[in-house]
C-alpha cells in the first residue's frame, strides 16, 4: 500500500506540474518565448485567492458558515484569482514581451527574468515576506482498504482538474476558431498574418489562457503544500518548465505527460532515495531523456531552415 500511496501522491503533484507546464508550452509553442515569469503569476494567483478567502471568512460568512457558503466563497476566490492573473498575463505580454517580438532570444530571456524578480519583490512589498498559512480548497480524505490507503480530496481534485483542463485545451485548439488561429501562428506567424489572423491578439489570448491556468495551479499548489510566500512559484515553475521540455515543449499532450512523469519521479525519489536528493534525481532523468531524445518524449524534431 505504501507504493500505491506514493504513486497517488506523485500523480497529484505531477498534475500540478502539468497544469503549469501547459502554460509554458502554449506560450512557447505559439509565441516562441520562454516566459520565466510564469511561476510568479502562480504566486500572484495564490495571494489573490488567499486574501479573497480571508475577506469572505471575516466579513461575509459569519462564525458558523454552511458548507455551501464556504464552497461558494472558495469558488469565487478561484475565479477572482483567474481574472487577476489573466489581466496580469495580458499586461506582461503587452508591456514586456510585445516590444521584443523581433528581438533575439537572449533579450527575451533577460526580460523574463527581470519580470520574475519584479513580481517577487512587488509581492514582498505588498504582502510581506512572512509566509502565509493557506487554507486548502477542500479538506478531508478518502479512506480505502480498511484505512490502509488514505487519499486526500485535494489530490483527487487536482487530478480531475488537470484532466479537464487537458481535454478542454485539446478541444479548444482543435475545434475553436481562436484555437486554430493559435495553431496557425505556431506554424508560421507571417503566413498567418497574411491569411488575416491578428497575431498580436492571438498571442495575447495565449498569455491570457496560460495565466488563467497559472491561477488555478497556484490555488492547487498552495492547497497541496499550504505555505504561501513571494517565492512560492519559483521552484514549481522551474520544475514545470522541466516537465514541458521533458514531454516535448510546444506539445499539449507532452506537457501533460511530462508533468505526470516528473511528479511520480519526484515522489518516488523522495520516498525511496532521499528527500534532499529528489531534485537531483529529477534533473538527472531530464538530462538522460534529452540525450536520448532531444525533442522530448512527444516533441517533433523540426530542422531549422536556412
Q: Which residues, other chains included, contact 271 with Cβ-Cβ below 8 Å and sequence gap of 6+? A: 2, 6
pTM listed for this prediction: 0.91
- Give the domain range for residue 61: 19-233
Kindly report the average pLDDT of the chain as a whole number: 87
Pick from 262, 274, 208, 255: nearest CA to 29 = 255
Q: Which residues, other chains included, contact 244 with Cβ-Cβ below 8 Å and sequence gap of 6+? A: 21, 24, 25, 28, 254, 255, 258, 259
Would residue 42 count as lying in a domain? Answer: yes
- Is the pLDDT reported for residue 304 higher than 60? no
- Is the pLDDT reported for residue 62 higher than 70? no
User: How many other C-beta atoms are found inside a 10 Å radius of the C-beta of residue 135?
Assistant: 17
Band (43; pLDDT cuts 50, 70, 90): very high
- Segment 188-193 mean pLDDT: 86
Counting the structural domains of the chain, the total is 1
Would residue 156 count as lying in a domain? Answer: yes
- Segment 111-123 mean pLDDT: 93
Would residue 303 count as lying in a domain? Answer: no
Percent of the chain surpassing pLDDT 70: 96
Would residue 257 count as lying in a domain? Answer: no
Pick from 258, 236, 29, 233: nearest CA to 166 = 258
Would residue 297 count as lying in a domain? Answer: no
Cβ–Cβ under 8 Å, residues 234 and 123? no
pLDDT in tens, 140-172: 888 887 777 888 888 899 999 999 999 999 899
Range with the largest mean pLDDT of 39-48, 101-110, 176-185, 266-275 = 39-48
Would residue 242 count as lying in a domain? Answer: no
pLDDT at 120: 94
Would residue 264 count as lying in a domain? Answer: no
pLDDT at 305: 52
Categorise residue 39: left if φ over 0, alpha if ψ from -120 to 50, beta otherwise: alpha
Would residue 271 count as lying in a domain? Answer: no
pLDDT at 57: 81
Amino acid at each position: 500500500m505504501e507504493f500505491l500511496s506514493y504513486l497517488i501522491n506523485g500523480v497529484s503533484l505531477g498534475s500540478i506540474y502539468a497544469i503549469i507546464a501547459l502554460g509554458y508550452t502554449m506560450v512557447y509553442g505559439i509565441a516562441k518565448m520562454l516566459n520565466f515569469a510564469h511561476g510568479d503569476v502562480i504566486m500572484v494567483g495564490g495571494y489573490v485567492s488567499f486574501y479573497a478567502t480571508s475577506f469572505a471568512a471575516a466579513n461575509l460568512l459569519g462564525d458558523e458558515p454552511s458548507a455551501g457558503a464556504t464552497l461558494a466563497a472558495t469558488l469565487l476566490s478561484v475565479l477572482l484569482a483567474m481574472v487577476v492573473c489573466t489581466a496580469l498575463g495580458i499586461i506582461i505580454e503587452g508591456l514586456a514581451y510585445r516590444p521584443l517580438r523581433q528581438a533575439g532570444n537572449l533579450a527575451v530571456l533577460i526580460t523574463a527574468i527581470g519580470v520574475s524578480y519584479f513580481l517577487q519583490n512587488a509581492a514582498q512589498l505588498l504582502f510581506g515576506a512572512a509566509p502565509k498559512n493557506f487554507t486548502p480548497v477542500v479538506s478531508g480524505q478518502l479512506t480505502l482498504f480498511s484505512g490502509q490507503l488514505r487519499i486526500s480530496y485535494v489530490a483527487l481534485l487536482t487530478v480531475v482538474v488537470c484532466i479537464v483542463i487537458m481535454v478542454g485545451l485539446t478541444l479548444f485548439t482543435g475545434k475553436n476558431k481562436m484555437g486554430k488561429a493559435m495553431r496557425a501562428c505556431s506554424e508560421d506567424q507571417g503566413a498567418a498574418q497574411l491569411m488575416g489572423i491578428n497575431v498580436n491578439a492571438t498571442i495575447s489570448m495565449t498569455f491570457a489562457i496560460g495565466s488563467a491556468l497559472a491561477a488555478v495551479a497556484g490555488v492547487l499548489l498552495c492547497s497541496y503544500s499550504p505555505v504561501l510566500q513571494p517565492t512560492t512559484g519559483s521552484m514549481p515553475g522551474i520544475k514545470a518548465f522541466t516537465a514541458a521540455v521533458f514531454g516535448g515543449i510546444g506539445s499539449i499532450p507532452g506537457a501533460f505527460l511530462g508533468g505526470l512523469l516528473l511528479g511520480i519521479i519526484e515522489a518516488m525519489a523522495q520516498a525511496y532515495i532521499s528527500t534532499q536528493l529528489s531534485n537531483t534525481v529529477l534533473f538527472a532523468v531530464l538530462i538522460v531523456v534529452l540525450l536520448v531524445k532531444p525533442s522530448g518524449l512527444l516533441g517533433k524534431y523540426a530542422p531549422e531552415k536556412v
